[in-house]
């Protein structure tokens, strides 16, 4: 009954204290995605599978990036071919510079008309975002109305500065992929509630 009252009032409920703060951060920093087609960049294949299941459980559909995106990313693949979504960005960084892989991945996915939003994992040792060139790829989604949400694979001392820089520039960072997806999904669901009520 309480959930029904919330829906009628166009209110999104938080079930836990973590949800409350996660959702508040998402609403404060993100522009709602125009659709539910999501791309996941994970640091391991198993993590990508978990993220894919979580996306589908939270109302997202896995985006199908176009051929142009494939062409831009293929030079950064490992010696074998990998799927574009979920994208195993971790294995790509074993063969190519981390900052270049992330830059091309973000630029190509944000520019893809088949993609509405992105969830991106960070490795434990990520290059500094202290320059405009390093930070800009993460901000492209905000410019194009395609939210980018980040989670660290493992929080290390070297990542604290990266996380701080991202959040100061409006890119939310969550401690796990599950919490990242849930927070983004609430922003999208709230947008849909508002549109249905209009």
At 106, the pLDDT band (50, 70, 90 cuts) reads very high
Residue 124: which residues within 8 A CB-CB, separation 6 or more? 152, 153, 154, 155, 156, 158, 159
3-state helix, strand, coil in the chain (%, to 5): 55, 10, 35
Q: For residues 98 and 43, what is the distance between their CA atoms, to the nearest angstrom?
A: 12
Tens digit of each residue's pLDDT (9 = 90 or more) over 21-48? 899 999 999 999 999 999 999 998 888 9
Please determine, for residue 4, whether its predicted confidence score (pLDDT) is greater than 80: no
- For the chain, domains (ranges, CATH) are 2-197 (3.40.50.261)
pTM: predicted TM-score of the whole model, two decimal places? 0.90
Residue 129: which residues within 8 A CB-CB, separation 6 or more? 135, 138, 161, 162, 165, 166
The number of C-alpha atoms within 13 Å of 18 and in the hemisphere containing its C-beta is 8
Q: For residues 108 and 140, what is the distance between their CA atoms, to the nearest angstrom?
A: 10
At 12, the pLDDT band (50, 70, 90 cuts) reads low
Average pLDDT, whole number, for the chain? 89
At 2, the pLDDT band (50, 70, 90 cuts) reads low
Please determine, for residue 14, whether its predicted confidence score (pLDDT) is greater than 70: no
Angle (CA) 152-105-48 rounded to 5° is: 50
Helix axes 177-197, 45-57, angle to 10 degrees: 20
């Amino acid at each position: 009954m309480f959930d029904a009252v919330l829906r009628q009032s166009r209110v999104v409920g938080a079930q836990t204290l973590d949800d409350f703060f996660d959702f508040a951060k998402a609403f404060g920093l993100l522009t709602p995605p125009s659709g539910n087609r999501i791309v996941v960049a994970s640091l391991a294949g198993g993590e990508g599978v978990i993220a894919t299941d979580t996306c589908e459980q939270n109302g997202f559909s896995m985006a199908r990036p176009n051929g142009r995106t494939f062409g831009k990313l293929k030079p950064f693949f490992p010696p074998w071919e990998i799927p574009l979504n979920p994208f195993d960005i971790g294995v790509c960084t074993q063969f190519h510079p981390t900052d270049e892989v992330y830059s091309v991945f973000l630029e190509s996915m944000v520019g893809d008309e088949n993609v509405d939003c992105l969830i991106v994992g960070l490795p434990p040792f990520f290059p500094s975002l202290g320059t405009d060139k390093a930070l800009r790829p993460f901000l492209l989604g905000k410019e194009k109305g395609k939210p980018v949400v980040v989670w660290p694979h493992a929080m290390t001392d070297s990542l604290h500065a990266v996380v701080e820089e991202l959040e100061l520039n409006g890119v939310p960072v969550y401690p796990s992929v599950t919490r990242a997806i849930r927070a983004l999904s609430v922003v999208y669901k709230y947008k849909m509630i508002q549109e249905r009520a209009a």
